[in-house]
Amino acid sequence: MTNKLKTSKTDSVPEAENFDPVYISEQQFNRALVHIKDFRKGLVAFLKQPKRIYTVNFPVELDDGTVQSFQGHRVLHNRVFGPGKGGIRYHPDVTLEEVVSLAKLMTWKCALVNIPFGGAKGGVVCNTKQLSESELRRLTRRFTAEMADVFGPFTDIPAPDLYTSEQTMAWIFDTYDVLHSGANNRSVVTGKPVSMGGSLGRHEATGRGCVYAARRFLSKALLPNQQDLGGARVVIQGFGDVGAVAATDFCRQGAKVVAVSDSQGGVFREDGLDLDEVTAFKAEHGTVVGTPKTLTVTNEELLELDCEILMPAALGNQIHSGNAGRIKARLIVEGANNPTTPAADSILNSRGIYVLPDILANAGGVTVSYYEWVQNQANEQWDAEEIDAKLQSKMYRAVDAVFSRWQGFVVGDEVAGERDATAANHERPLDFRTVALIIAIERVAEATLMRGIWP
């Protein structure tokens, strides 16, 4: 039996806040830019724009014999460090603007964790819940065929994202391989099933990487009485590939997952959820809502629950100016991409709530995707332990780099660039998103100039 949890009333999203993804990524970029010194004129415009955009409309025959037209996008933002890399999402709300902003995010993420890839992203406007398995297969094959000259092991490499899976990646690989026979094409896509050249540990990588990032961050002792995950109450929005793995790993590290959710709502248990029970219930009923011995919460209520760590692991713009003032977590670990708006960032920072941003926290996914790509080049399969050790050390190094740069701003070793003279005085230390972006943008800018502007 389930009951509703009594919580305070939640406000709706304020109408005044601009949720346009391009506007949001611009805001985030500009906040970092004021702290970057000696930025060569003209480079800013280049770094803000995507290198190329492909939009395709294509027909798919449905099971009942009718034909439906779908639209898909693939955006390559920047390839200074290497081929484009980024997931493909299937969702009814996919827009070109969202895909562009997510491709930019991938550029900064790869640069931050020193992965030799550029940023890319793709999406198809569709509702996977209304499509059968065979319809999804035909949609994926046709989209891949439309992108046959866009994707490539050394040009643009897709991966899973919202509502795409290992199976989707297997279909993409197969379609590409049929159209480009005679070569080792395995590395054209990552996140494949292990039996088809996927990497051990890839499925777990994003969620696990988030937990490594959180653990390393806590060890910096910024949260009084919480210097490791032991006893920390964790709330996770989204119980998919990222959220479910993170939940298990948080528990393994001694934390207590008190609430999780999916698109239909969330479940809460003060003593900690039995994750096996939640997983089994979701497998049987398609949702976590209704798991025995839990209270039901809405997704809005879930974000405001009392906890040490809040992990959004579903959609974008979940933490905004309408709810940021009521978030009770002390640390937010962004499993999802773009879950926090710039207005919310400012509110959270002013309230002393730390945010481990998407480009840092969820970079474990692209990290092990890179390991998969390397294994595919050599037709090798590395041990799970080896991959896990490499992932942990990558995440720790990235957190250390952001933390030490942040400390530079806090103690005043590092002063802001010229543009900051006109910017508002910072009463609080910079937030970690801005610091992570400063590092990433500087690296991409430096590499662009080192390569030289051609011709």
Binding site for ligand NAD (CB under 6 A): 160-163, 206, 237-243, 261-263, 299, 313-315, 335-337, 362, 365
Q: Which is nearer to ligand NAD, 291 or 299 (CB)?
A: 299
Q: In what order do the strands lie in the sheet with 84-90?
A: 52-61, 67-78, 118-124, 84-90, 156-160
Q: How far is the CB of 276 from ligand NAD (least distance, A)?
A: 17
Task: Return the number of the residue (34 or 213) whose C-beta is nearest ligand NAD.
Answer: 213
Minimum CB distance to ligand NAD, residue 207 (Å): 8
Least distance in angstroms from the C-beta of 399 to ligand NAD = 16
Q: Which residues pair with residue 296 across a beta bridge?
A: 4, 267
What's the DSSP call for residue 69? E
Residue 36 CB, nearest approach to ligand NAD (Å): 25
| Long-range contact set of residues 320-326: C-beta below 8 Å, sequence gap at least 24 | 320/13, 320/14, 320/17, 320/19, 320/344, 321/14, 321/16, 321/17, 321/347, 322/11, 322/12, 322/13, 322/14, 322/17, 323/10, 323/11, 324/348, 324/351, 325/351, 326/8, 326/10
Closer to ligand NAD at the Cβ: 194 or 416?
194
Q: Helix 364-378 vs helix 202-218: angle between axes, to the nearest 10 degrees?
A: 140
Beta strands in 91-160 (DSSP E): 118-124, 156-160
User: Based on CB atoms, which residue is closest to ligand NAD, 335 or 357?
Assistant: 335
Strands (E), 133-246: 156-160, 233-237
The one-letter code for the residue type at 363 is A
Handedness of CA 36, 37, 39, 45 (dihedral sign): positive
Q: Where are the alpha helices (DSSP H) in 362-431?
A: 364-378, 384-411
Angstrom CA distances, 415 to 123, 292, 446, stand at 40, 54, 19
Instruction: Strands of 110-201 (E only): list them.
Output: 118-124, 156-160
- In angstroms, what is the minimal distance from the CB of 244 to ligand NAD? 7
How far is CA 335 from its chain centroid? Answer: 5
Nearer to ligand NAD, 193 or 417 (CB): 193
- Please, which residue, 191 or 430, has the CB nearer to ligand NAD? 191
Tell me the one-letter amino acid at 346. Answer: S
Residue 4 or residue 451: which is nearer to ligand NAD going by CB?
A: 4
Q: Which residues are catalytic?
A: 121
Identity of the residue, 315 or 395, whose beta carbon is nearer to ligand NAD in the bound complex:
315
At its nearest, how many Å lie between ligand NAD and the CB of residue 339? Answer: 7
Least separation in angstroms between residue 17's CB and ligand NAD is 17
**Residue 119 corresponds to which tokens in the numbers above?**
């940023």
Nearest residue to ligand NAD by CB is 240
Place of tokens 């990552």: 190
Specify the 3-state DSSP secondary structure of 109: helix
Q: How far is the CB of 319 from ligand NAD (least distance, A)?
A: 12
d(CA 408, CA 285) in angstroms, rounded, equals 50
Sign of CA dihedral 173, 178, 179, 180: positive
